Structure formats: structure tokens, C-alpha cells
Amino acid sequence: MTILALDTTSEHGSVAIRSKGQTLAEVTIHSPEGFAHLIFQAIGRALDKAGLGLADLDCLAAANGPGSFTGIRVGLSAVKGLAEALGKPAVGVSNLQALSSFGKNRVRAVVLDARRGEVYSAVYNSDLTVVAPETVSPFPKWLETLMEPDYEFISPRGNPFWLALQGTRFADMPFSEVAHPLASAVALCAERAVWTDPALLDANYVRRSDAELFWKDS
């Protein structure tokens, strides 16, 4: 199977092509102002590097969050549009699951900065199956829910979570920081996922947008 995967959920985006268990090409995009004007160019470059065309794809995948609300929508829209046009299935992949694929230990606690003093988090096993569901909460509160004797903590590079573990029972447990890009990991997770009608793809915000919260409280 050949998979095209996108990650546009942060300012460090990427596009990857994966086939027969290997990443054939990966293109990175750093764009703090967004990806709508760049994503299809990056897809073309990735296909060229892999020596493939759109017709060679079996499935399309997008990181569907959590992350930038606008970035998530751009990636999902691109994958939905291409998949519909090509008549191919599609799949959305959680960023947290994709990050868990970089781990080496049996139980992997994945954490992302959600701002506002909170984190997005989940626990996965070595099969990339969720053990504790995705949530958003203050970091110390989430740590209180972790009951396994041993964890490997995983987060994107540059986050201060390792320091926050000092003085807790988790202080000496493995901690891995993942550098961008993430699209190849999204493609890996897509290999194991159930492919679906692209029209059914949806965002995985975990926390609702400010606009939704405003109208709920109004």
C-alpha cells in the first residue's frame, strides 16, 4: 500500500509518502502564517521525490489534531479534496498517536502543550493502541491519573515537561523529545488504521475552540 500523509497542525508542517513499510519521501514546511498556500506544492514535491503520481496512492492521511485549529482544517480539507477527486479512502490520525510511534518502551505517555496552563495527553502501548484516552488538563492533574509502574514520556522537542517531572515518582523514567517532521509517523499510523470515506473525516480538537466556548456560555 502507498500512503500520502500530511501534518499541518503546527507551524512545522510536513508531507510524507510511505509504501511497503518504508518512507519514500518527506518534505518539510515551516510556515508560521499557515499552509493553505503551500500544501499542494509540498505534495507535488513529495510525489516527485518518491517518483510517484497521485494515481499511485492507495490512501491519504492527515494529522487531525490536537493542534492549531486552522492548521488542522487545512490538512483535512486537502486530504478530503484529493481523496474525493481520486476516489481513494482516507484516514485521520491523532498527533498524540503519531508521537507515540517514536517511543521504545511498552507504555508511552505522550504530552503536548495545550497552552492556558494545560496539556493534551494520552497513553499508548508499543502497538500504538490507546491505553488511556486523550484528554486536556493541567499537567500535574494528568500525572495523578497515571497508574502504571513505568512509563516512557514523549513530547515534541523544546517543551518543558521533563523539568516538570522532577520531584515526582516519574523523575527517573525515560523521556524522549521528538523533532519535526511528523508526517512519516502519521503515515505509519495510517497503515494500521481503518480507512474510510473521506467525507467522514473529522477534526480531533480534544478541546473546543474559543468560538464554541463563547457561544455556549453566551
Helix, strand, or coil (residue 207): coil
CATH architecture assigned to 2-95+180-217 = 2-Layer Sandwich (3.30)
Strand partners, 136: 120
Domain ranges of the chain: 2-95+180-217, 104-178
pLDDT of 160 reads 84
How far from 177 is each of 4, 9, 99, 174, 204, CA to CA, in Å?
25, 17, 9, 10, 22
In Å, the largest CA–CA distance within the chain is: 54
Please name the residues in contact with 13: beta carbons below 8 A apart, sequence gap of 6 or more. Answer: 6, 7, 28, 29, 30, 31, 35, 38, 39, 42, 71, 75, 181, 183
User: Do 104-178 and 2-95+180-217 have the same topology in CATH?
Assistant: yes
**Nearest Cα to 182, choosing from 82, 97, 56, 60?**
97
pLDDT of 162 reads 92
pLDDT of 208 reads 63
Spell out the alpha helix ranges (H) of 51-169.
69-86, 95-100, 139-143, 161-165
Q: Topology of domain 104-178, per CATH?
A: Nucleotidyltransferase; domain 5 (3.30.420)
Is residue 186 a contact partner of residue 98, using CB atoms and an 8 Å limit?
Answer: yes
pLDDT of 143 reads 97
Output the CA angle 17-107-175, nearest 5 degrees: 80
Per-residue pLDDT of the chain (218 residues), as tens digits, is 999 999 999 999 999 999 999 999 999 999 999 999 999 999 999 999 999 999 999 999 999 999 999 999 999 999 999 999 999 999 999 999 999 999 999 999 999 999 889 999 999 999 999 999 999 999 999 999 999 999 999 999 988 899 999 999 999 999 999 988 999 999 999 999 999 999 999 999 997 654 343 334 43
Q: How many CB atoms lie within 10 A of CB 166?
A: 9
Sheet holding 118-125, edge to edge: 130-137, 118-125, 107-115, 152-156, 175-178
186 CA to centre of own chain: 6
pLDDT of 180 reads 82
Output the CA angle 183-186-188, nearest 5 degrees: 115
Helix, strand, or coil (residue 48): helix
